[in-house]
Amino acid sequence: MTKMKDSVIIVSGGMDSITLLHERHEEIALGISFDYGSNHNSREIPFARMHCQRLGIKHIVIPLDFMSVYFRSSLLDGADAIPEGHYEDANMKSTVVPFRNGIMLSIACGIAESNGLSRVFIANHGGDHAIYPDCRSEFIKAMDAAMSAGTYAHINIEAPYTEITKTDIALIGKAIGLDYTETWSCYKGGNVHCGKCGTCIERQEALRNAGIEDKTEYSNEG
């Protein structure tokens, strides 16, 4: 039975959103990437576009230039501002872009209703909870209620990875047959992954724990 394409997905080009894109592609009519001026947007978004094209899903990029002007986050301040260390370390809180997911979900909600669609997929996961308030289940539930109440179509959020780990996500990708070299994680946004920032370390751990050979190219510096 063919599933109805009634959804949009917020797709960055990272491991999590690309996995969700492939896992639920039969339900997705539109992929949305947001260029908010982060160090790694230019590395991620081409992967988001490529995967959407492969799956025959329309892809759009929405600029959010104001965030890099008015918001404070090391994610917006250049590669040198990104701390190194484990994803759950206190210093990684500097990478929080305030209410980023709330802004993206709001825009995706409006686009969904404007295009006659009823759901918005987002690939936040359990490992994000330690430092990102707008990835936690209580936020997703509250945002879902607000979006439903604030739209005639009662748009809903689909966030199926909220309570699982990145290793769990990697296992889903492994079962699908995804090549994770065709995704981007590094917050520094260089020519290759740095291998030292929180997202690189989390990527390495997830692939290792899932029994996936890590073919990511990492910097040899240091």
Q: Which domains are delineated in the chain?
A: 7-209 (3.40.50.620)
Q: How far apart are CA 186 and CA 131, in angstroms?
A: 17
The tokens describing 85, both together, are 């260390």
* Out of 12-16, 37-41, 196-200, least confident range: 37-41
Q: What is the band of 210 on the pLDDT scale with cuts at 50, 70, 90?
A: very high
The tokens describing 213, both together, are 């050979």
Taking the model in full, what pTM does it have? 0.92
Q: Give tens-digit pLDDT for 110-152.
A: 999 999 999 999 999 887 656 778 888 999 999 999 999 999 9
The answer to whether residues 33 and 13 touch, using CB atoms and an 8 Å cutoff, is yes
Q: State residue 222's pLDDT score.
A: 40
Q: Give tens-digit pLDDT for 27-73.
A: 999 999 999 877 778 899 999 999 999 999 999 999 998 888 888 76
